[in-house]
Amino acid sequence: MKEKNIIYLDNAATTYMRKQTMLAMEPYFTTQYGNPSSAHEFGMEADRVMNYGRQTLADILNAESEEIYFTSGGTESDNWALYGCAYANKQKGRHIITSVLEHPAVLSTCKWLEQLGFEITYLGVNTDGVISLEELEHAIRRDTILISVMTANNEIGTIQPIEEIGRIAKKHGILFHTDAVQAFCHIPIDVKRAHIDLLSVSSHKFGGPKGMGFLYIRKGVEIIPFMHGGHQEKGMRAGTGNVPGVVGMTKAAEYAALHMKECMKRETMLRSYLFRRIINEIPFVKLNGSWEHRLPGNLNLCFAYVDGGTLLEMLDMKGICVSTGSACAAGEAGPSGVLKAIGLSDELAYSAIRMTLSSENTREDMDRTADVLKETVWELRCKSAAFMQKIGRKI
């Protein structure tokens, strides 16, 4: 199921795939390899499983099956939602509202749209990482065509008030897109209740294969196609359908949706236990993001007087996988933009690590992580002149 002796606490980066999911995909590579666009029975079988997937995924969101468009993952879904709506609606206006907390898949697309003549308002967040609904209302203009705010953040796990945002967007007749890559199949989402027009999903965040995802597009939303070519995905996203990918994503989603409640409970319990141990046993630790409005498996903490990157490496050597920020931001210079947005100094932001649990983790994993963190953080702090001065000792 997982590497022996490894404690994997990086589930926001990617998740492991259950054997059953892989087994479900296998025939679609080997014996049932038909092209879903073919007119013969062999191909039509592939088309049927694609449509079964569409229906299953739609049901989880309270959407309709024809509103699900398969993509290569979260990045593509975000790109398509933003630029597709921007271009289809540019006669109505050129103003888009998003938040400073968004994933690079949204922020970089916004930067690119700015170069193409669109105007973007980036909403700030409070110290918990939550946007202000008043600020959102204030930012709305006559030429606003789209609001894009993520359901849950990938670094600090903060859950945004998407039902309220959807209500505001609907009241003003503006499209509402949400990046639900970290949230889908982890917390309940109802697109009708939240008045969501577009929603991005990535399969490898909930036990499905990488390079697979979908974009929910509510019926009637004006959006231009993402890929030009064949008639696949109703002519909106051309290219031969990724049948094994759809089967894997569907199988993973079925399992995750069925077990969502118990997983949420278990992850919350494990995460709270780990947090309590850390906060009680290691001084100068700070929680990043809201405790209340938070993904169940997310723990993002600053360990003052420690460099997060070095801590990550040392934990890695001891068999514990964590991250310093999002995998997509790895390699970027400077402190995390998300941590800066919630008001952290550069120094504190550099001391953060993200631990993202799954229900596969155990209480023993949490105990070992807390023990290793305690000894490693102490070891690193002993090399920090600032820390030794703080506790009144010589280095």
Positions annotated as catalytic residues are: 328
Q: Which is nearer to ligand PLP, 79 or 351 (CB)?
A: 79
Look up residue 61 and give its two tokens.
Answer: 């969101």
Q: Is the CB of residue 370 less than 8 Å from the CB of residue 274?
A: yes
Q: Angle CA(109)–CA(110)–CA(115) in degrees, nearest 5?
A: 95
d(CA 86, CA 57): 26
Work out whether 328 is an interface residue with ligand PLP (CB under 6 A).
Answer: yes
Distance (Å) of CA 369 to CA 95, 171, 231? 46, 47, 50
Q: Which is nearer to ligand PLP, 152 or 302 (CB)?
A: 152
Q: Is the CB of residue 128 less than 8 Å from the CB of residue 159?
A: no
Question: Per CB under 6 A, which region of 118-126, 175-183, 309-317, 371-379 contacts ligand PLP?
Answer: 175-183
Q: Which is nearer to ligand PLP, 154 or 324 (CB)?
A: 154
For the chain, how long is the longest CA-to-CA vector? 79
Backbone φ, ψ for residue 373 (5° rounding): -60, -45
Residue of 36, 53, 74, 129 interacting with ligand PLP (CB under 6 A):
74
Work out whether 329 is an interface residue with ligand PLP (CB under 6 A).
Answer: no
Which residue has 């069925």 as its token pair? Answer: 258
Strands 175-179 and 198-202: what pairing?
Answer: parallel
Q: For residue 197, how many C-alpha atoms fall within 13 Å in the half-sphere facing its CB?
A: 24
Work out whether 233 is an interface residue with ligand PLP (CB under 6 A).
Answer: no
Backbone φ, ψ for residue 221 (5° rounding): -70, 135
Segment 22-61, which members bind ligand PLP (CB under 6 A)?
none
> Which string of b and e fits 239-278 if b means at least 16 CB within 10 Å?
eebbbbbbbbbbbbbbbbbeebeebbebbeebbeebbebb
Segment 349-388, which members bind ligand PLP (CB under 6 A)?
none
Number of residues that bind ligand PLP (CB under 6 A): 16
d(CA 354, CA 319): 16
Closest contact distance (angstroms) between CB of 180 and ligand PLP is 8
Residue of 103, 218, 266, 354 interacting with ligand PLP (CB under 6 A):
103
DSSP SS3 for 259: coil
Residue of 120, 150, 175, 185 interacting with ligand PLP (CB under 6 A):
150
Q: Which is nearer to ligand PLP, 145 or 181 (CB)?
A: 181
Closest contact distance (angstroms) between CB of 182 and ligand PLP is 5
Q: Which is nearer to ligand PLP, 95 or 103 (CB)?
A: 103
Work out whether 267 is an interface residue with ligand PLP (CB under 6 A).
Answer: no
d(CA 276, CA 357): 15
Binding mask 176-195 for ligand PLP (x = CB under 6 A): ---x-xx-------------
Work out whether 154 is an interface residue with ligand PLP (CB under 6 A).
Answer: yes
Residue of 9, 63, 105, 377 interacting with ligand PLP (CB under 6 A):
105
Task: Fill in the amino acid letter for 128.
Answer: D
Query: Residues interacting with ligand PLP, by CB under 6 A?
Result: 73-75, 78, 103, 105, 150, 154, 179, 181-182, 202, 213, 326-328
